[in-house]
Amino acid sequence: MSSGKPEIAVANGAPAGRCISNPLLDTTTGIKRISKWLFGVPGFFSPWFAIYMIVIGISYLFFTPALSRMETLSVSWIFKITARNVVLNRRGVC
């Protein structure tokens, strides 16, 4: 009984292979496997997470006004933070 639609090879949405979780949730994982998962390429920190952390650090250090300046409500520091956020979020609002 063919309805003209292609048949799905996966039965009931079950994955074809074994589902693998990250090594931090596995109870039998050794330090070597965890460190490979964290620092390997591709891993948890490499490359995108590390790049995002560097951008966040640079943004905080160089483009965030001092807290003493933000004690009083002023258009200048609000504009500086808004401009920084617009530049960092170039793709626009979701």
Tell me, yes or no, whether 56 lies in a domain.
Answer: yes
Q: Is 39 a domain residue?
A: yes
Query: Are residues 87 and 64 part of one domain?
Result: yes
84 and 69 belong to one structural domain: yes
Q: Write out the residue range of the structural domain in which residue 31 sits.
A: 17-46
- CA pseudo-torsion sign 15, 20, 21, 22: negative
pTM of the model: 0.54
Express each pLDDT in 32-83 by its tens digit: 888 887 888 887 777 888 888 888 899 899 989 999 999 999 999 999 999 9
Say how many domains are in the chain: 2
User: What number is the average pLDDT over the span 16-26?
Assistant: 70
Is the peptide bond preceding residue 47 cis, with omega within 30 degrees of 0? yes
Residue 8 domain flag: no
The number of beta carbons lying within 10 Å of the beta carbon of residue 48 is 10
Rounded Cα gap, residues 4 and 2, in angstroms: 6
Q: Is residue 34 part of a domain?
A: yes
